[in-house]
Structure formats: structure tokens, C-alpha cells
RNA sequence: GGCGUUAUAGCUCAGUUGGUUAGAGCGAACGACUCAUAAUCGUUAGGUCGGUGGUUCAAGUCCACCUAACGCCA
């Protein structure tokens, strides 16, 4: 038994995430966590909400709530939706937790002691009306290059020219519209990650089995242009973790907070602390997952994220851990994903384009979405959601191949032998061939799951389901029954055991349906079927079962068309 | 402009360190079966592996250049 620490990139607090966000991190992380648990390994699967920063403050203001209250509410909303999707976090934490405050300040102190923090004086735009410094993108004005009047302080969206806020003509706050702006000098802390460039480079080089997507992004940031740049890790905001040197004040940094990108990854660690607290355990309980001097040296740590998060996880966060000089557990495998597009374009939160997690659950059970998303995960390149593909895939794979298999074998048995596994007959060449094929396929499926090859795993699982239908078609117990009822009984017995096998193997992908299959077969989820032959003998003659209701109702053409229209992002109804 | 990813049958994609007739699922056509959510199973469908030029006894699989899509950065 191994120990697996698994984290999903933590979703930002300001709203409900869309399916693209889901498939890029939380869902594959859940797949892996469920699989590892099913194999009998010890798993700690953590996720949290990323709560700090300007967008959270603005979203709270828009909602008319204090930011702390807004974040608490949205955390509850995201937690409920995650639960709806069957995301099996051991803990769903918050980056605003006391644990993260303490840990973030601790890391900053350690980095300062190591000489890896420097102060930089910068000029930033202050808005008197908003009583705050404005990030570049929250300043609007007329582009000096093309005259577009809604250019942002970082870039003009019309002519794409890169801008400084001070370049803008008639600059105004994007928040209040106020033009009462002032350029002020302010000091910030920078993480000198360029000092660690060599170490990070060597570390990345040692990760030969990471996805190309991951290492190519990391290498680019390390070597592109002038190489790895130092990053500001503080901001002039109210909402965040106050800049302190451990428990002590940080002279000159009063009223400032750490930048969200500094504290967010630290939440992976803090979240383990939150988990320990929530489950009534002491610090040693979480430290054995995170401190290699306190029991974590045999932990295998895997992170899941979309490609936009890779630089922070391969460079900035490791720089923080290495720079601390303390024995923190570093990531062992970093599985990254490309983007999921929606029907010819990108998912868009602002334009309401695409499908959001809460809406998805309002249409169909989570298993439908899990199956489509995982079996089409954007691993090698961006992939695209279309309603036609979704309907076709879930109807064919889930309803026709898996659902119908369980249905046909249980109903056949009920009509000929009653609702218990029939006795009599024995296995012959057909059964041996089936068991041999399944042994081979289950081994390959397990290999693919170990390797986090999501699409390939899904494909292999589907092939395993198809084996059940192929077997029934080949031996045709409905025909055998007429001439040799004992032989038909043996075939049916094997068929029912196949349902048990499928229920177990499918659990990481479609946990609810798997649960229903196992319940109707009246068995608990037990061991992983490494020995297929032995596993297929677990339901003995006489074992009673129930015929389940339809496992997967099909998506109709009418529903597909209605949803396609409803989620087009065109004129809102 | 720099960099990266991708470009394989109508569609979605597999194709280990280069090596016999390039594979799967879906769709399509035909056939079988009738237990089942009109579900299933089988057979077939002949794609110059984006283009050009190289390396090699041998390249979809390595190299160079080109083209296209997407993305990141400046």
C-alpha cells in the first residue's frame, strides 16, 4: 500500500466554474483519487477555494456583501456543486483559512531570512474615489495608439498594443469611472526566484515522465528572453493575508497583503492542516503528508491543473518551498491539461457562453458529464464540447453498452431463473477466452489509470464493457436455455458476475452508476479485480440480486436541440 | 516578432526507443440475433499519415524548410 497526496488546482472564488475548468483539474484529480482508493492505497485528496485578490473584492461589492461574507457564501456554493459532481475531496478548504495565513507568513519569513526577498519601489495608480490602488487592468482610457476609448491599463483590446496605465489618455477607474487618479510610489516585496533558476532547471530536468505540456511550459519560462523573472508577491489591498514576517510585523509593509499567487499554492499545505483540524487530528496527522522529515518521504504527490497554472506550480511554488530551506514535500508528478472549447469557441464566463457546473447538474446526473468530459479530456491538445458528440457518446457508451448490459443480463436471469444467481453447468472454452481477454484488458486499464492516461483509460474501460455484450451475443443463453438449461445457467452466472466486475471497474469514472450496479447486485465495493478469474467467482449460485431501474436514460434529440439553443450564449432570453 | 502545441480514414482520436499488409470508437453499408433502454453482435468500408527535401537497408515515427490552426510571451 502506497500513500498518495493528490491536489487539484484550486478554483477562484468569484463564481461558479464551467465545464472547462472542471475537466482541467478537479475531475481528473478525482478520477485518480478514486482509483487509488479503490486499489487500497492511502489517499489524501485536497482542494480549496482561492479567495484573495481584486476580482473577489469586486465580485463581493457587486453582490452587495462584505468580501469575507461573500467568500464564505461562495465557498459553500462551490462545495455543494463539487459534491454534486461526486468530487471526493478529503477536504475542501479555503485559502483564507487561519492555517494559510500562518503558513504564508511563515514562508515569507523563511524566504526573507534566506535572502530571497527584496523590496522594490514602484509607481502605481491610486484612485481616491475607490480608496484603493488599481491593478493595471482596472484602469481604462483612450488608447494613444489607435484611439479606442475602452483600452485597459495593461493592453488595448482593440489594437493589442501593450500599455502602461500612464499611457492612457483620460484614464479612469474601471470600477467607479472616477478620473480622480494619482500615481503614487509604493513598495513591494519580490520573490527572487531567479536566484533559484539553476536548481529549478535541474529539478524540472529530473522529471522525465511529466507530460510534454508541463515541461515545455516550465522550460519556456525558465529560458525565454531574460530567463526566469522575479515576481512581486505583495499588493496594496485590504482582502488578503497581511504581510508579516512570521508572527512579527514587517516594517514598511503595513497595510499590504500577499499577492494571491503567492498564498494560493501554499493553501495546498494549509488545506491539509484544515483537514486535520476538521477531523479532530493533531499537526502530526497532516505533517506526515507534507514534511519529509515527519513521515512524508514515502508519499507520492500528484498535482492536476490546466495549462495556465503550470508556471506557478513548476516554478514559483517550488521556489517558495526550496527557498524556505525546510524539508517540504515537492510534487512528484504534475498532470496538466489543455483547454476545453465549447462548440467552436471558448467557454466564456462574461458572455455566458458554454455550460457551468450548476447548470450541467440541472440537466443530467453527474455521471453523464463525468464520462463525456473524462473520455474526451484535453490531454494532447485542446478539445471541443459539442452537443452532438455529447449525446452520441453518452447514449452509446453509457446507455447502450454499459447500462443495457446490466439490464439485459439481470432481466434475462429473472425471467428464466428468478432473481438469484443460477446454479448448474460449468465453464468451457468461451468462458476461458472471455476471462483471458478480460484479464488482459483489466491489466491494461489499470496501467493506463496508474499513468493518468485519462482518455486511454476510458477507452479501455469501454472495451471491457463491450466484452460483456460480445460474450452474451456469442454464447446466446436465450438459445442455450432451450436445449441445455444448465449450460444457460452457467452463462448467466458469469454474466451476472460481469455486472459486478463492471460496477467495480467503472467506479472512478461513473461513481453513482457504479454504486447502483453494486447495490442491485447486493455487493459492497471491495477489492480491485487484479485476479479477474477469482473476481468473477464472487457471486456464487444462490446469491440474490435486484433488477435495477434504467441506469442511463438516453438524451433525446429534442433535449439536445433545446440545450444547444439555450447555451449558445446568443441573445439572452 | 519569439516560442510552444497540433496537423493520421467523413467525425473524434491511438500510433512505444524508426522495421513485415497504418489501428480504435463513432457515423455509413450489409448481415446475425431477439435476452435487453429498437439495445446488442459480426463483416465491410482501401486514408499518397499537412507539404517539400534530406538521413537510413528501412520513416507516420529522426533532421531541415514551408503551410495551416490554436495558444503563450514580447
Q: Measuring from the CA of residue A384 to each C1' atom, give the nucleotide at the shortest distance.
A: B12
Q: Is A71 annotated as a binding residue?
A: no
Per CA to C1' distance, which residue is closest to B27? A392
> CA–CA separation, A200 vs A13, rounded Å?
30
CB-contacted nucleotides of strand B (7 Å): 2-7, 11-15, 24-27, 32-37, 39-42, 70-74
What mean pLDDT is reported for chain A? 90
Q: By percentage, how much of chain A surpasses pLDDT 90?
A: 61
> CA A153 – C1' B2 distance (Å)?
24
> CA–CA separation, A114 vs A176, rounded Å?
41
> CA A401 – C1' B46 distance (Å)?
29
> CA A225 – C1' B3 distance (Å)?
10
List Cβ neighbours of A294 (8 Å cut-off, separation of 6 or more): A284, A287, A288
> CA–CA separation, A461 vs A459, rounded Å?
5
CATH number of A1-115+197-207+260-337: 3.40.50.620
Binned at pLDDT 50, 70 and 90, residue A81 comes out as very high
> CA–CA separation, A171 vs A169, rounded Å?
5
Domain positions in chain A are: 1-115+197-207+260-337, 383-535
> CA A459 – C1' B59 distance (Å)?
28
> CA–CA separation, A238 vs A248, rounded Å?
19
Q: For residue range A254-294, list pLDDT tens digits in order.
A: 989 999 889 999 999 999 999 999 999 999 999 999 999 99
* Across A228-237, A253-262, A493-502, A540-549, least confident range: A228-237
> CA–CA separation, A273 vs A241, rounded Å?
17
Q: Is A467 annotated as a binding residue?
A: no
Q: What is the mean pLDDT of residues A517-534?
A: 94
The H-assigned helical ranges of A417-536 are 429-450, 454-475, 477-483, 485-505, 511-520, 532-535
Q: Please name every residue paired with A152 in a beta bridge, in sequence order, or none if there are none.
A: A140
Q: Measuring from the CA of residue A471 to each C1' atom, give the nucleotide at the shortest distance.
A: B41
Query: Are the C-beta atoms of residues A465 and A405 closer than 8 Å to each other?
Result: yes
Q: For residue range A86-133, list pLDDT tens digits in order.
A: 999 999 999 999 999 999 999 999 999 999 999 988 888 888 888 888
Residue A49 C-alpha cell reads as 477555494
Binned at pLDDT 50, 70 and 90, residue A571 comes out as very low
Phi, psi dihedrals of residue A301, rounded to the nearest 5°: -105, 125
Asked if pLDDT for residue A481 goes beyond 90, the answer is: yes
Asked if pLDDT for residue A236 goes beyond 90, the answer is: no
Total-model pTM: 0.93
Superfamily covering domain A383-535: Isoleucyl-tRNA Synthetase; Domain 1 (1.10.730.10)
The helix or strand, by DSSP H or E, that contains position A44, with its residue range, turns out to be strand A42-49
Closest CA to A35 of A442, A398, A314: A442
> CA A379 – C1' B16 distance (Å)?
18
Binned at pLDDT 50, 70 and 90, residue A16 comes out as confident
Q: What is the mean pLDDT of residues A477-506?
A: 96
Asked if pLDDT for residue A77 goes beyond 90, the answer is: yes
The helix or strand, by DSSP H or E, that contains position A273, with its residue range, turns out to be helix A260-278
Asked if pLDDT for residue A450 goes beyond 60, the answer is: yes
Q: Is A146 annotated as a binding residue?
A: yes
The per-residue pLDDT for A572 is: 40
Asked if pLDDT for residue A142 goes beyond 90, the answer is: no
> CA–CA separation, A285 vs A90, rounded Å?
13
The per-residue pLDDT for A106 is: 97
Q: Is A143 annotated as a binding residue?
A: yes
> CA–CA separation, A196 vs A470, rounded Å?
57
Q: For residue range A145-188, list pLDDT tens digits in order.
A: 777 777 777 766 666 566 677 777 888 888 888 888 888 888 99
> CA–CA separation, A301 vs A296, rounded Å?
10
Q: Do domains A1-115+197-207+260-337 and A383-535 have the same CATH topology?
A: no
Amino acid at each position: 500500500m502506497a500513500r498518495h497526496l493528490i491536489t487539484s488546482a484550486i478554483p477562484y472564488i468569484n463564481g461558479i466554474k464551467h465545464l472547462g475548468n472542471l475537466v482541467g483539474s478537479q475531475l481528473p484529480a478525482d478520477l485518480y483519487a478514486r482509483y487509488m482508493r479503490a486499489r487500497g492505497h492511502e489517499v489524501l485528496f485536497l482542494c480549496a477555494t482561492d479567495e484573495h485578490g481584486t476580482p473577489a473584492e469586486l465580485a463581493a461589492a457587486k453582490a452587495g456583501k462584505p468580501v469575507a461574507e461573500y467568500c464564505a457564501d461562495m465557498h459553500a456554493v462551490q462545495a455543494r456543486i463539487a459534491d454534486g459532481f461526486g468530487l471526493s475531496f478529503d477536504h475542501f478548504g479555503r485559502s483564507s483559512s487561519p492555517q494559510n495565513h500562518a503558513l504564508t507568513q511563515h514562508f515569507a519569513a523563511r524566504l526573507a531570512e534566506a535572502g530571497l526577498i527584496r523590496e522594490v519601489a514602484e509607481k502605481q495608480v491610486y484612485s481616491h474615489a475607490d480608496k484603493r490602488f488599481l491593478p493595471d487592468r482596472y484602469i481604462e482610457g483612450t488608447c494613444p495608439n489607435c484611439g479606442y476609448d475602452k483600452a485597459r491599463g495593461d493592453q488595448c483590446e482593440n489594437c493589442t498594443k501593450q500599455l502602461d496605465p500612464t499611457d492612457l489618455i483620460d484614464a479612469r477607474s474601471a470600477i467607479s469611472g472616477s478620473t480622480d487618479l494619482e500615481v503614487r510610489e509604493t513598495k513591494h516585496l519580490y520573490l527572487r526566484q531567479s536566484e533559484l533558476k539553476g536548481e529549478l532547471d535541474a529539478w524540472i530536468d529530473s522529471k522525465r515522465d511529466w507530460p510534454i505540456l508541463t515541461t515545455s511550459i516550465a522550460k519556456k519560462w525558465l529560458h525565454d528572453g531574460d530567463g526566469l523573472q522575479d515576481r512581486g508577491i505583495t499588493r496594496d489591498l485590504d482582502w488578503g493575508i497581511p504581510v508579516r514576517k512570521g508572527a512579527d510585523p514587517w516594517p514598511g509593509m503595513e497595510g499590504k497583503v500577499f499577492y494571491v499567487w503567492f498564498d494560493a499554492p501554499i493553501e495546498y499545505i494549509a488545506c491539509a492542516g484544515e483537514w486535520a483540524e476538521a477531523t479532530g487530528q493533531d499537526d502530526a496527522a497532516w505533517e506526515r503528508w507534507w514534511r519529509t522529515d515527519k513521515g512524508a518521504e514515502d508519499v507520492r504527490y500528484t498535482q492536476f491543473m490546466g495549462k495556465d497554472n503550470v508556471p506557478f506550480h513548476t516554478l514559483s511554488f517550488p521556489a517558495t518551498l526550496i527557498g524556505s530551506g525546510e524539508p517540504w514535500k515537492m510534487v512528484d508528478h504534475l498532470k496538466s491539461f489543455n483547454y476545453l472549447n465549447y462548440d467552436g469557441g471558448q467557454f466564456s464566463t462574461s458572455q455566458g457562453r458554454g455550460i457551468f457546473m450548476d447548470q450541467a447538474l440541472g440537466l443530467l446526473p453527474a455521471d453523464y458529464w463525468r464520462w463525456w468530459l473524462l473520455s474526451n479530456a484535453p490531454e494532447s491538445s485542446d478539445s471541443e464540447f459539442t452537443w452532438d458528440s455529447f449525446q452520441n457518446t453518452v447514449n452509446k457508451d453509457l446507455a447502450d453498452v454499459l447500462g443495457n448490459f446490466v439490464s439485459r443480463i439481470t432481466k434475462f436471469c429473472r425471467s428464466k431463473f428468478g432473481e438469484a444467481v443460477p446454479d448448474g453447468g460449468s465453464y468451457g472454452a468461451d468462458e476461458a477466452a472471455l476471462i483471458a481477454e478480460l484479464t488482459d484488458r483489466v491489466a491494461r486499464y489499470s496501467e493506463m489509470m496508474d499513468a493518468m492516461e485519462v482518455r486511454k483509460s476510458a477507452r479501455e474501460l469501454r472495451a471491457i464493457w463491450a466484452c460483456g455484450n460480445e460474450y452474451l451475443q456469442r454464447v446466446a443463453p436465450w438459445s442455450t436455455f432451450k436445449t441445455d438449461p444448465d449450460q444457460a445457467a452457467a452463462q448467466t452466472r458469469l454474466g451476472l458476475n460481469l455486472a459486478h466486475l463492471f460496477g467495480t471497474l467503472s467506479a472512478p469514472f461513473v461513481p453513482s452508476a457504479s454504486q447502483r450496479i453494486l447495490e442491485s447486485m447486493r455487493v459492497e465495493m471491495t477489492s480491485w479485480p487484479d485476479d479477474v478469474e477469482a473476481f468473477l467467482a464472487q457471486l456464487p449460485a444462490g446469491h440474490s440480486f435486484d433488477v435495477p431501474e434504467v441506469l442511463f436514460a438516453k438524451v433525446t434529440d429534442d433535449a439536445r436541440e433545446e440545450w444547444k439553443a439555450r447555451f449558445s450564449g446568443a441573445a439572452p432570453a
